[in-house]
Amino acid sequence: MPSPRRREYKRTYSTRPVGKSPKASSKSISVVMKSNRSSGTMPELTLARLLRRKLVSSDLPGRPDIVYARSKVAVFVHGCFWHRCPVCDLPLPKTNTGFWRRKFERNVERDQINRLELESMGWSVHEVWEHEIREDSAGCAMRIKDAIARLPQFAA
């Protein structure tokens, strides 16, 4: 089963990438997968618009979706499917379940590593779930703005 593979990530982790996704076994699964794509989807755009920020592609660990460079605040919008939201608890794909379970475990693990790495660089990290934005995008934006306003460098 393990096959030689190119490095998918620039930085090295303790765990290796699990390899390429298996082909979707049916058209409907392929549609689900595509709608679960991890970036460029609506929720992060919605949040960025509310925060009046642009979605960035940075060299920061994990490439946060929204970055406040001056106040060193990084915001990740996590898709509930790819990042295994504990609230939504979406079912694993029925085919290649083992592969997907490993892949998702790596995603979650990487999220934690990225967060720790950013924090060790002095960044504050905010993770927002896709479903939170769908349910209350204004509330999410407010939470982040509040957190930024409370940063020590902005205290009077």
- Which residues form the interface with Zn ion (CB under 5 A)? 80, 85, 87-88, 129, 131
DSSP state of 152: G
C-alpha to C-alpha distance for 79 and 131, rounded to whole angstroms = 8
Q: Which is nearer to Zn ion, 87 or 156 (CB)?
A: 87
Question: Minimal distance in Å, beta carbon 20 to Zn ion?
Answer: 26
Least distance from Zn ion to the Cβ atom of residue 132, Å = 7
DSSP letter string, 19-32: -SPPPPSSHHHHHH
Instruction: Output the smallest distance, CB 36 to Zn ion, in A.
Output: 12
In the complex with Zn ion, the residue whose CB is nearer, 45 or 148, is: 45
- Look at the block and give the residue holding tokens 């929204």: 66
Pick the closer one to Zn ion by CB: 80 or 125.
Answer: 80
Please state the closest distance from residue 151 (CB atom) to Zn ion, in A: 27
Q: Is 99 exposed, middle or buried (0-12, 13-18, 19+ CB in 10 A)?
A: middle
Minimum CB–partner distance for residue 101 and Zn ion (Å): 18
Compare residues 42 and 149 and give the one whose CB is closer to Zn ion: 42
Nearer CB in complex with Zn ion: 88/149:
88
DSSP for 48-92, written as a single string: HHHTT------SSTT--SEEETTTTEEEEEE-TTTTT-TTT-PPP
